[in-house]
Amino acid sequence: MEKRDVAVLGVGMTKFGYHPDKSLAELFAEAFFEAFEESNIELKDIEALYFGNFVGEMTDGSANLGGFVADEIGLKGIPARRYEAACASSSVAFREAYYAVATGLYDCVVVGGSERLYNAGTAIGTRALATAVDGVYEITAGLTFPGVFALAARFYSKKYEIPLDELREKMAMVSIKNHKYGAVNPKSQFYNKFGDLKVEDVLNSKMICSPLTLFDCCPMTDGASAVILTTADKAEDLIDTPVYVLGTGQASAGALFRQKEDMIRAIPRKISSEMAYKEAGLTPKDIDFVEIHDCFTIAEIIASEAMGFFEYGKGADAVAEGVTSIDGDLPINPDGGLIGKGHPVGATGTAQIYTVAKILRNEYKYNPVKAEVGMTDTLGGDFGTLVNIILGIHRRGK
Q: Which residues are catalytic?
A: 87, 343
CA 287 to centroid of chain Cα atoms: 17
Q: Residue ranges of the alpha helices (H) in 140-255?
A: 145-159, 164-182, 199-203, 232-238
Q: Of 217, 183, 218, 211, nearest to 197 (Cα)?
A: 183
**In this structure, what DSSP letter does residue 190 have?**
T
Phi first, then psi, for residue 138 (nearest 5°) are: -105, -55
Angle between helices 164-182 and 145-159 (to 10 degrees): 130
How would you classify the pairing of strands 48-52 and 80-83? parallel
Residue 38: partners with Cβ closer than 8 Å, 6 or more residues away: 9, 10, 11, 239
Distance from C-alpha of 25 to C-alpha of 380, rounded to nearest angstrom = 22
Instruction: Kindly give the pairing relationship between strand 222-231 and strand 108-116.
Output: antiparallel
Q: What does each C-alpha distance from 356 to 37, 317, 373 come to in angstroms? A: 18, 25, 9
Phi, psi of 146 (to 5 degrees): -55, -35
Q: In angstroms, rounded to a whole number, what is the distance separating the alpha carbons of residues 345 and 294?
A: 12
Neighbours of 165 (CB within 10 A): 10
- Give the SS3 label for residue 118: coil
Alpha-helical (H) ranges within 239-385 are 256-259, 267-280, 297-306, 315-320, 337-341, 348-360
Cα–Cα distance for residue pair 332/369, rounded to 1 Å: 10
In the chain, the N- to C-terminal Cα span, in Å, equals 20
Q: Where are the beta strands (DSSP E) in 45-170?
A: 48-52, 80-83, 108-116
